[in-house]
Structures are given as C-alpha cells and as structure tokens.
A and B are shown apart, each in its own frame.
Chain A
Amino acid sequence: MATLTAFQFRLEDLCHATALPADIIIEIVEQGIVDPIGDAPDNWAFNTQMITITKKAFRLHNDLEIDWPGTALAISLIDELELLRAKNLQLQRRLDRFSQENSEAITQEKQQTIRGDDDE
C-alpha cells in the first residue's frame, strides 16, 4: 500500500526520524546515497526506505570513521553484497530442488569406482 513507497517525509521529518541535523542529511543526498524527489532541500521528499539508508550511512561514517565518498561507496557495495547473498540463497534453494536426492547416488557411484580400481 501507499505507506511504504510514498515520498511522505520532508527534510525536517527526516531530521526528526534519524535524529540528525539537516547539514548531514544534505551531505548524504549530495553524495547520492539517497535520492529524494524534488530539486532543492526545501521541496525534497523522502520515503521510509531512505530513513533507514540515511541512518545506516551515518552509522558507517561515524563508527568506522569513513569519509562521505567512502561511505557512499560502502553503502553501494553493501547493497550489492546483500543482493548477491539473497540471489545466492535463492539459487541454492533452486539447485537443492534438483540435486539433493542425487547426492547419495553419486557417493555410491564413487565408491563403486574406487572398489573397481582395487580389484585391478
């Protein structure tokens, strides 16, 4: 429904929700870490996902002492990592549907081969 994707937060609301001052949020937007609708801070509009990204960006910047361009890079790499982890899990699940029952048969096959070698 509307609440999740709606761009319903103004800069002021985002400051309040993240407990961060406006200049830090402006920096985060200028680094392209979040991309609000609107062309100037006065008419920016953010959504819920952007609140969590902003908070995450500030934590990384602050806790790991990363400068802002480094934070932007870390955020996009972490995003990609999460995407790949999810994709990997999903592919693993697909693969299991085709191969789990076969693993035992392959082991037996191997044992037979080994036994065959011993006979020679």
Chain B
Amino acid sequence: MDFKDYYKILGVETTADKKAIKTAYRKLARKFHPDVSDHHEAEDKFKEVTEAYEVLKNPEKRAEFDDIRQYGRHGEQFEAPPGWRPSQGFSDRDAAQHQGNMSDFFSSIFGAEGHGSHEGYENQQGFNRRGQDIETDLPILLEETLGDSTKTIAYKLPHYDLKGLSNEINKTLNVKIPGGVREGERIRLKGQGAPGIGSGVSGDLYLRIRLIPHPLFDVEGHNLILTVPLSPWEAALGLKITMPTLSGKIQLSIPANSQTGQRLRIKGKGLNRKDGQGDLYAVLKVVMPTSTNDTIKEHWEQLKTAAAFDPREEWSKP
C-alpha cells in the first residue's frame, strides 16, 4: 500500500488553514470531476482529491494524519506503525457511504473494521444499501448498428469481503443491442451492477455506446461519408465506379468535370435510425498519380496549352 500525502494531493502547505484547504479542494474537484473532465485518470484523481479533503477538513482526522505522516512519504510503500489503532471517529454509516471510494491507505488509518462488513450492516438495525451502478463503454462497429445484434460483454464488479477489503469479480453477459443506436447512448441493464448491502438491491449496469471509427466511412448525424479518390482524368471525363457501402457494393456514376470536395448523395445507404434512414455521401477527392514519365509530362504540357486554365484567377483581381 502506498503512502498518500494528502497535503501534496491538494497542493497545500501543512500549515494551510481550513479556508485554503477548501479552496484548493474545490479547484481540483472542478478540474477532475469525472462528469466535467476528459482527463483519462479523472475518476481516480477526483477520488484521491475527495479523500484528501475528507481528512484535512476534519480537525481530528487531520491531527491523526499529521501523526502518521512522519512515518511515510508520498507514493512510497507504507505500513501503519506497530501499535497503531485506527480511530473510532468514523462511523459504520460513514464507512458504508465511502465504501469503494476510499483507498486502502485511508482505511488503514481511519479504520477498516466494519468497513464494508456485510455481517456488520445486517446486524445494525437493518442498514441496507443499494449496490453501485456500473457504467462501462461498449464499442460497436457501424455495421452492427444496422440491425439488432448480440454482443458478449465483460466487466468488473466491485466486491467486498467480510473484512471490507475490496477486490473485483469478472462478469460476462450476453446483451442484445437494438439497431440504430447512437454514439453516447446508454443501455440500462437492471440489477446487473454491484450487489447491494444487507437486503439492498443490486445496482444497474449502464452500457455507453461507442462507435468504433470505420477505416472507410465517417459518421455525420445519421448520414455516412465515404471519400472517393479519383484520378484527374476520371474527374475530367466521368466514369462508373463500384463503391462499398455498409451493406454491400453499389455502382456509382461520377459525372464529367467533377471537383474535389463535391458530394454525391446515395439515398438510404446511411445509418438506420429510429428517426429515419440516413444517406451515404460520396465525397470526391482528386489525387495525382504517384509516378510520372516523359510521355505523361508531355501530355500534361499539351493539356496546359489547350486548357489555358488559371485556378488562382481570384488572386489577380484588384
């Protein structure tokens, strides 16, 4: 178990007063709140900051922490000194509320006895608590959103043994994903979250849909975009191409004199949504051949003379 220096975590001096500690906490809480921050460790950081504030805002806990602080250094291995007795100032109800949110370091100082003990809660005038909700990302392929699909998901459930120490249980579930799901949408699976305490019911599992970026297609609302590379002569003369869609190949006519960036709409080949069927847009992109030779160069020279085209005409306007 690592030692946590709560002063360091909040970035305050050991002499900081209550007000300075509160301000430091509020700043960091806003910065790392998992609902606000896109920092990849936001949730852990937020928990750490909350834990630090929990201790430092309370004069008794702070005094206890100051005592223990002389035995450890931030981030280094830590064992409570021999004979250390966790304080009694932390009720079981507090412990239950913080269950799963406080570190082992915290429990070792402020008491893990009864911290998460299922027996203890059951005996305590029937203290019951609903299990935690679990939220996890569910990456799915664009192809899979076209109709209903079934996916096997694996996730971890927090679990507390009789001593209140946490470990995790791996769980797998088969989930039916309805067709037409969107990025960020959530599917709720009732009772599949963490088990409750006492006679408290289990929490729920929320699956947050994440569309896996497709190598070819981009998503824009319920429409899809496919970039179609064309050679300069294909763009100039037009042609019929075979192009992929999410559901098989189709023929597409490219008109003569097409431009880079031009969009061609293929009706009904986009994503399938509850509020309607999207379209597929082919966006043209003229690309130059990678190799050249004297004959090709000669043809370009002829073209230059014949076309007399100034693409930067706008620039020469007064």
Give chain A's interface residues, CB within 8 Å of chain B. Answer: 1-5, 17, 19, 48-49, 51-52, 55-56, 59-60, 63-65, 74, 78, 82, 85-86, 90, 93-94, 97-98
Contact = CB atoms under 8 A, between A and B. Distances in A.
A72 to B, nearest CB: 14
A17 B188 CA distance: 10
Interface string B185-225: 11110100000000000001010000001000011100001
21 contacts: A1-B180, A4-B178, A5-B274, A17-B190, A48-B187, A48-B188, A52-B186, A52-B206, A55-B133, A60-B35, A64-B26, A64-B29, A64-B33, A74-B36, A78-B36, A82-B184, A90-B218, A90-B219, A94-B218, A97-B227, A98-B285
Contacts, number: 62
Contacts of B274: 4-5
Interface of B: 26, 29-30, 33, 35-36, 38, 46, 50, 130, 133, 135, 148, 178-181, 183-188, 190, 204, 206, 213, 218-220, 225, 227, 260, 274, 285
Given A63-B29, A86-B183, 6 more contacts: A1-B179, A4-B187, A17-B204, A49-B185, A78-B35, A86-B184
Given A1-B148, A5-B274, A52-B206, A64 B30 contact: yes
Contact of B218 (A4, A48, A55, A93): A93
A94 B263 CA distance: 13
The 7 closest A-B pairs by CB, nearest first: A1-B178, A97-B227, A48-B188, A19-B130, A56-B35, A52-B186, A93-B218
